[in-house]
Structure 1
Amino acid sequence: MNTWIAIGATAFGCYAAKLAGLLVPTDALEKPLVRRLAALLPVALLAALTAQQTFADGHALLLDARVAGLAAAVVALILRAPFLLVVAAAVVVTAGVRAMGG
């Protein structure tokens, strides 16, 4: 029964968050600060998610093949490679390091 309570609470929470976003007055969304924050927030969230997935394993810092893949992606970005090539470089380097036992 607890599972269904959790599912119901999650569904209600998602609906309430969506409704809260729709109820924000248009004037509040037109302010320059809000527009700037809305533009920067996805970048910050993606960076935080990438860092957490790359360097963390539970509560411990972990340096493994994912770090090498991220470094390869950064180098590809610095060289202004297309996004698909950036992802491919990260995948190939990560797989290569793992294949070598790293």
Structure 2
Amino acid sequence: MNVWIAIAVTIVGCYAVKLAGLLVPAEALERPAVRQLAALLPVALLAALTAQQTFSTGHELVLDARAAGLAAAGIALLLRAPFLVVVGVAVAVTAGLRALTG
């Protein structure tokens, strides 16, 4: 029964957050600080997700082939490679290191 209570609370919470977003006055959304925050927030969330997925396995911090793939992707970005090339480089480096060490 506790699981269903948690699901119900989550449903209500999600609906409340959605409703709160719809009730924000348009004038508040036009402020420069709010616009800047809205532009930067997705980048920060993506960076946090990438870091969490790269350097952890559940409850432990790790430094493995994924970190090397991320570093290779960063270098490809610095060299202004197209997005698909960046992803391909990251995949190739990660897979290559896993094949060598695994």
Question: Which category of TM-score, normalised to the shorter sequence, fits these structures?
Answer: over 0.9
What's 1:28 paired with?
A: 28
- Structural mapping, 1:20-59, within 5 Å: 20-59=20-59
Given the two structures, how large is their TM-score scaled by the length of structure 2? 0.92
What's 1:95 paired with?
A: 95
CA deviation after TM superposition for structure 1 residue 56, in Å: 2.2
Partner SS, residue 101 of structure 2: coil
Segment of structure 1 superposing worse, 35-44 or 55-64 = 55-64
What's 2:65 paired with?
A: 65
For 2:52 and 2:7, locate their aligned partners in 1 and report how far apart those are by CA, in whole Å. Answer: 26
What's 2:5 paired with?
A: 5
Segment of structure 1 superposing worse, 71-80 or 53-62 = 53-62
Partner SS, residue 21 of structure 2: helix
Given the two structures, how large is their TM-score scaled by the length of structure 1? 0.92
CA deviation after TM superposition for structure 1 residue 11, in Å: 1.1
For 1:89 and 1:12, locate their aligned partners in 2 and report how far apart those are by CA, in whole Å. Answer: 43
For 1:12 and 1:86, locate their aligned partners in 2 and report how far apart those are by CA, in whole Å. Answer: 40
For 1:66 and 1:7, locate their aligned partners in 2 and report how far apart those are by CA, in whole Å. Answer: 34
Structure 2's unaligned 5+ residue stretches are none
For 1:2 and 1:9, locate their aligned partners in 2 and report how far apart those are by CA, in whole Å. Answer: 11
Structure 1's unaligned 5+ residue stretches are none
Deviation per residue, 1:32-75 (Å, 9 max, x gap): 01000100011111111111111123443210000110011101
What's 2:16 paired with?
A: 16
The aligned length equals 102
User: Which amino acid is 1:91 matched to?
Assistant: V
User: Could you tell me the percent identity over the aligned residues?
Assistant: 75
What's 1:85 paired with?
A: 85
Partner SS, residue 80 of structure 1: coil
